[in-house]
Amino acid sequence: MPLLVITGGPCSGKSTRAQALYDYFKEKSMPVQIITDNNLDRNTVYIDNTLEKQARSDLKAETQRLVTKTDLIILDALNYIKGYRYELYCITKLYQTVQCTIYCNTLVHLAREWNATTHKYDAPVFDALVQRYEPPEGRNRWDAPLFEVTPDDPLPLEQIADYLANKRPPPPNKSTVNLPMSDTNFLHDVDRVTQDVIDSIVQQSKMAVFGQQFSIPGTTEKITWNQTHSVSDLRRIRQQYLKFIKTHPPSKDNTNV
């Protein structure tokens, strides 16, 4: 049981629905986790394109890290961009599991009243997110199946559970399938070496100044420190490389790490 993507505008009741889903599946003794953006400073993040992009990237990375064929993951966030929901669909397709979308369709005037009570969003941020919101469509394979609920609607819990339990995952394609490796230790070695590289960069960068060169474990090459990279940036680059190496394995003669 894989991924439940909850989407909706600001103050549309997403977290309430996420908690109801969590409680329902927990009562059924199913392993379930919630990934949420509730820890974000919304008025800082959603007014800055760079910060918002980083926040979405972090949520997606956490989702990819946790998605399995057995654990249920609930992603409680705005998820308001169509292309972003497609990226989430590609993750579940990569791991050969399924997902569905719960759309909290709350009238804007009601959401605005809730926001006035909770003070989660400044008015300009709230209005900007409402304008940018791209509603899901059930005809899109990455939004399907789509369960649309208004504040007065009960969650179709049994329908959601039935879908997750019985729906076959979409077949992998060339862009998502992991090709078999000729050396079973290869991916493990790559994972270990890249982690060592990240750890070394993080450690050395603490005292580095722009233009300074420092070495990387396992090689005589040096890199010039000319840009500030956060730890999350480095982890994201590493994950992108690991994903690439799985689908584009080197030849058997070139698998020495």
Q: Would you say 9 and 80 are in contact if contact means Cβ atoms under 8 Å apart?
A: yes
**CA dist list (Å): 47 to 39, 64, 68, 122, 129:** 16, 26, 33, 10, 9
pLDDT at 228: 65
Residue-number span of the structural domain to which 145 is assigned: 3-166
Does one domain contain both 146 and 32?
Answer: yes
Asked whether residue 81 is assigned to any structural domain, the reply reads: yes
- Of the candidates 203, 188, 170, 44, the one whose C-alpha atom is nearest the C-alpha of residue 95 is 170
pLDDT at 181: 45
The SS3 of residue 54 is helix
Q: Would you say 11 and 118 are in contact if contact means Cβ atoms under 8 Å apart?
A: yes
Asked whether residue 253 is assigned to any structural domain, the reply reads: no
Asked whether residue 172 is assigned to any structural domain, the reply reads: no
Does one domain contain both 112 and 207?
Answer: no
pLDDT at 194: 82
Does one domain contain both 81 and 206?
Answer: no
Does one domain contain both 33 and 123?
Answer: yes
Does one domain contain both 73 and 151?
Answer: yes
Asked whether residue 32 is assigned to any structural domain, the reply reads: yes
Asked whether residue 123 is assigned to any structural domain, the reply reads: yes
- Mean pLDDT, consecutive 10-residue segments, the chain of 257 residues? 92 97 94 94 94 94 86 95 94 89 97 94 96 95 95 96 85 53 63 81 73 73 70 81 74 48
- Of the candidates 77, 65, 26, the one whose C-alpha atom is nearest the C-alpha of residue 191 is 65
pLDDT at 188: 73
Asked whether residue 257 is assigned to any structural domain, the reply reads: no
pLDDT at 200: 79
Does one domain contain both 28 and 68?
Answer: yes
Token pair listed for 125: 């941020």
Does one domain contain both 217 and 128?
Answer: no
Token pair listed for 33: 């986790």
Does one domain contain both 193 and 139?
Answer: no
Q: Which ranges in 67-122 belong to alpha helices (H)?
A: 82-94, 108-118
pLDDT at 89: 93
**CA dist list (Å): 185 to 181, 194, 256:** 9, 14, 10
Domain end (from 123, 138, 166): 166
Does one domain contain both 50 and 92?
Answer: yes
pLDDT at 172: 63
Does one domain contain both 161 and 190?
Answer: no
Please count the structural domains in the chain.
2
Does one domain contain both 19 and 95?
Answer: yes
CATH number of the domain at 106, please: 3.40.50.300
pLDDT at 227: 66
Domain end (from 102, 136, 166): 166
pLDDT at 243: 79
Asked whether residue 252 is assigned to any structural domain, the reply reads: no
Does one domain contain both 152 and 225?
Answer: no
Asked whether residue 254 is assigned to any structural domain, the reply reads: no
Domain end (from 117, 132, 166): 166
